[in-house]
Amino acid sequence: MQGGKGAAEFYTFMGVQKFLSKICHSTLPFTFYALIQSKGSLQKTTKTRFIMFGAKFSVMVNGVPAGFFSNSKGLRQGDPLSPYLFVLGMEVLSTLIRRAVDGGFLSGCRLQGRGGVEMSVSHLLFAGDTIIFCEARKEQLTALSWILAWFEASSDLRINLAKSVLIPVGEVEEIEELAVELGCRVGSLPTVYLRLPFGAHHKAISIWDGVEEKIRRRLAQWKREYISKGEHITLIKSTLASMPIYLMSLFRMPKIVAKRLEKLQRDFLWGGGSFERKVHLINWEVVCTQKEKGGLGIRKIDPLNKALLGKWIWIFAYEKDNLWKRVIGVKYGQEGFGWRTKKARETFGVGVWKEIMAEANWCWDSIKFKVGKGTRVKLWTDQ
């Protein structure tokens, strides 16, 4: 979304506490009937209800079942059926939000791309975390509070307002009053969502501080243990090298951060986890060479970062109708029969995709087309 002074949009974070594990027998029918009406999946719903309420459970005592009992207080979070019920329950909340947007009670996030193409994103759902987009107006906050109240009343779930945050984008007047209307606290950007920096500059070194801190804490734990040289190599490959992968999958790591992290790996390899200086017997470039060529097979950070960013080029090309692809396609426009986006030339909110597109050349040089119907391939230009 466009930011800046006077921006009207803001984000709402909701923590759904111990979701679906607390759905009670008396409140399940509403959830399922609402889904039947919107999705038409009567047969699937009937089967799910039969599995939940027709099954019986038993407790093993000394390896022997000690009687059976029926399910009357919902499912525990570890039950195999729980994730499916979780998705069904969140679909109810999603339906309520979509109907509010269609009725004009919520605005959502409006995206306008090149050529006047527009789309709207009203909310994002991932596990127990929800983001709802709306304008900083009391009427919309009132509508949102009613939606949450209806959802709580129908599902017997409680929205954890203590973990919910109202985050303004730009300068929003009377934000405290709006937070009181919803019953949550006021937050600010940047923040963390799904362990990713939300609203932070993509080149900021500070977003990598958490990764380096975790590595140092792990090294401090290993320092107290006797670990052989072979175990050092295994721990570097399995743990130290994998810790930054989540962030590297979306952001380009600054070179100074990559050097610091590789230094921690080198010192651990030759110093046994201690931070005192010790002689490094083999050059790090040789250590990172493949085993077939005489190295230890430890992956260097920079090439790994490039590969992780380049994967988005291919994912964008072959995925069909995912939400993130539609958002990127609207914002930047598509070319080449939808295989790629146009060059990111806007001045705001394009940094992450620019870094990803920087890997497009080598990525496309390594891709070969297998011609099917020929509707997305130009025989005179494509490989």
Question: So what's the pLDDT on residue 53?
Answer: 64
Q: With beta carbons less than 8 A apart as the criterion, state whether 73 and 53 touch.
A: no
Positions of the chain with pLDDT under 70: 1-55, 71-78, 272-277, 347-349, 380-383
CA 253, CA 129: separation in Å to the nearest integer?
A: 27
User: Per the structure block, which two tokens stand in for 326?
Assistant: 């539609």
Q: With beta carbons less than 8 A apart as the criterion, state whether 133 and 9 touch.
A: yes
Q: With beta carbons less than 8 A apart as the criterion, state whether 264 and 271 touch.
A: no
Residue 22 DSSP symbol: T
**Count of CB atoms situated within 10 Å of the CB of 35:** 20
Peptide bond between residue 168 and the one before it cis (omega within 30 degrees of 0) = no
Question: So what's the pLDDT on residue 160?
Answer: 86
Domain boundaries, the chain: 9-189, 206-299, 305-365
Question: So what's the pLDDT on residue 349?
Answer: 66
CA 1, CA 24: separation in Å to the nearest integer?
A: 39
Question: So what's the pLDDT on residue 272?
Answer: 54
CA 279, CA 277: separation in Å to the nearest integer?
A: 7
Question: So what's the pLDDT on residue 285?
Answer: 93
Residue 28: closest CA among 123, 156, 125: 156
Q: 368 to each of 48, 362, 382, how far by Cα in Å? A: 44, 12, 8
- Sequence-separated (6 or more) residues with CB below 8 Å from residue 106: 97, 100, 122, 132, 133, 134, 140, 143, 144
User: Per the structure block, which two tokens stand in for 80?
Assistant: 């195999």
Q: Torsion angle, CA of 365/369/333/130, rounded to 10 degrees? A: -100
DSSP 41-103: -HHHHHHHHHHHHH-EEEEEETTEEEEEEE--S---TTSTTHHHHHHHHHHHHHHHHHHHHHT
Question: So what's the pLDDT on residue 86?
Answer: 76
Question: So what's the pLDDT on residue 165?
Answer: 92
Q: With beta carbons less than 8 A apart as the criterion, state whether 69 and 57 touch.
A: yes
CA 183, CA 159: separation in Å to the nearest integer?
A: 11
Residue 342 DSSP symbol: P
Q: Is 29 left (phi over 0), alpha (psi -120 to 50) or beta?
A: alpha
DSSP 200-257: S-TT-GGGGHHHHHHHHHHHHHHHTS---HHHHHHHIIIIITTTTHHHHTTSPPPHHH
Computed over every residue of the chain, the mean pLDDT equals 81
Q: What are phi and psi of 44, to 5 degrees?
A: -65, -40
Number of continuous H segments (helices) and E segments (strands) in the chain: 14, 13
